[in-house]
Structure 1
Amino acid sequence: MLKALVTDVDGTITDRRRRINTAAIEAIRTLVDSGITVVLASGNTVCFMDGLCKMIGTDGTIIGENGGVYRRTFSGTLNISGDQKVCLAAFEELRDYFAEKGIELELFGAQYRFADVAFARNIDADEARAIIRDRHLPVRVLDTGFAIHLQVLGVNKGTALRELAGELGIHPDEMMAIGDSENDIEMLRAAGVGVAVRNAPALTQSAADWVSQGMYGEGFVEAVKKYYPDLFSR
């Protein structure tokens, strides 16, 4: 049996309105109560993730800020693999560029972040990528569907998954990952089993070993029942 499940949050255990699927919570609690480590992995901040873990009922093992931070349990040390200074410098370049076009970029909660930056989706992410590429800035532009993020190159949910696996004392092949967005691609590829829910874009689906029929939280529950059948046939 797979020893750990790593799951994205927005768009994966929620519905299209970002409401958490209650059946997904029940499935996660079944896994936790059966000794399976459940890791919440998101572009969100650590403080957001902590509250979510408490409410859902996991032990606080997280991947946050698109892999820029990760931690084993609430009492564990927060590991910061990203570099927010580099991301903020790239953001300033983008802000100046779009300001000349009359577009103001709204930064989201930088004071609560340790590794990346996030801002409102009021620009074309591909245009931002072109600016980053033309100016040879060492960051990646991620559009999660909820915000646009800048993360240093070489840091992603997949790299965090591998590092976290080492701390957990298990191999990445013994882990399952579920996601719905472009920032989940490396995570799906790093895990022993990678699953995309049906609402994921084609590129994310192509990185998965299996794609659910259901969308959003319903697809998550479908995947968990498929890969942990003994826990849900009782």
Structure 2
Amino acid sequence: MLKALVTDVDGTITNRQRRINTAAVETVRTLVDAGIEVVLASGNTVCFMDGLCKMVGTDGTIIGENGGVYRRGYSGTLRVPGDKKTCLAAFDVLKDYFAGKGVELELYSAQYRFADVAFARNIDPDEARAVIRDHDLPVRVLDTGFAIHLQTPGVSKGAALAELAREMGLSPSEMMAIGDSENDIEMLEAAGFGVAVRNAPAAVQAAADWVTEGAYGDGFVEAVKKYFNDFEIR
């Protein structure tokens, strides 16, 4: 039986413009009220996630910075498996490279990040990956569709899901994960059941156990109604 849900935020319970789907919020609250734990998982910062959890109505268990940080409840210890210093060093290399091409890289909320680096999507992520490879830097480049992130090896939403499951006294097999972007692939694979909403690219859909008919928040609601009803919400 499924006992917990881990869901991405942008593009999964929001639309492309990051407007949150109100039916998705109601669905999350229904799960929480039924005793199903809901974990919000995102590339966003901890402070953003805390505000979102309060507004949506979860207990504050989060995966932030694409797995670079995670925490069990508001009062839990913030775990930081990511290495911000290494990511910043890689960002400096990219910044110099693209400055030579007349392109300025814009950091996002760097002062609020503990583990990764995020910047505007005004460059080709594949070109950034090539620069990282050429300099043999120990980071990977993630394109979430909303920002480009730099992460240290071993950091992912999937790895964070597995660690959170242990802290929650659950097995990953008792969790369902829903997402829409390449930073969700490991999370979908780590969970007992992985769902991609219809707007997800082909690689994400291929990693999922099931793909919704609806896109964005409508797909999220569809998945929860289908699979948590099948496994009986208690």
Same fold (TM over 0.5): yes
State the AA in 1 paired with 2:98: F
Give the 5 Å matches for 1:184-223: 184-223=184-223
CA deviations over 1:25-69 (Å, ceiling 9, x no partner):
000000000000000000000000000000000000000000000
Tell whether the 8 Å contact from 1:225 to 1:232 is kept in structure 2 after alignment.
no
Q: Residue 12 and residue 138 in structure 1: after superposition, are their counterparts in 2 closer, same or farther (change >3 A)?
A: same
Q: Does 1:67 align with 2:62?
A: no
Question: CA–CA distance in 1 between the matches of 2:172 and 2:65?
Answer: 20
4+ runs deviating over 3 angstroms: 230-233
Q: Secondary structure at the match of 2:187?
A: helix
Quick one: percent identity of the two aligned structures? Answer: 79
Question: CA–CA distance in 2 between the matches of 1:28 and 1:201?
Answer: 24
Tell whether the 8 Å contact from 1:63 to 1:157 is kept in structure 2 after alignment.
yes
Tell whether the 8 Å contact from 1:68 to 1:115 is kept in structure 2 after alignment.
yes
Count of paired positions: 233
Name the TM-score, length of structure 1 as normaliser.
0.98
CA deviations over 1:117-157 (Å, ceiling 9, x no partner):
00000000000001111111110101111100000011100
5+ residue gaps, structure 1, are: none
Question: CA–CA distance in 1 between the matches of 2:231 and 2:217?
Answer: 18
When the two chains are superposed, the root-mean-square deviation of aligned CA atoms in Å is: 1.2
Q: State the shift of 1:72 in Å.
A: 0.3
Q: State the shift of 1:2 in Å.
A: 0.4
Question: CA–CA distance in 2 between the matches of 1:131 and 1:153?
Answer: 17
State the AA in 2 paired with 1:212: T
- Residue of structure 2 equivalent to 1:175: 175
State the AA in 2 paired with 1:222: E
- Residue of structure 2 equivalent to 1:139: 139
Q: State the shift of 1:6 in Å.
A: 0.1
State the AA in 1 paired with 2:38: V
Give the 5 Å matches for 1:12-51: 12-51=12-51
Q: Secondary structure at the match of 1:131?
A: helix
State the AA in 2 paired with 1:111: Q
Tell whether the 8 Å contact from 2:118 to 2:147 is kept in structure 1 after alignment.
yes
CA deviations over 1:74-119 (Å, ceiling 9, x no partner):
0111000000000000000000000000000001111100000000
State the AA in 1 paired with 2:123: I
5+ residue gaps, structure 2, are: none
State the AA in 2 paired with 1:32: V
Tell whether the 8 Å contact from 1:30 to 1:231 is kept in structure 2 after alignment.
no
Name the TM-score, length of structure 2 as normaliser.
0.98
CA deviations over 1:8-32 (Å, ceiling 9, x no partner):
0000001121110000000000000
State the AA in 1 paired with 2:134: D
- Residue of structure 2 equivalent to 1:81: 81
Tell whether the 8 Å contact from 1:177 to 1:191 is kept in structure 2 after alignment.
yes
Question: CA–CA distance in 2 between the matches of 1:167 and 1:29?
Answer: 22
Q: Secondary structure at the match of 1:79?
A: coil
Q: State the shift of 1:229 in Å.
A: 1.1
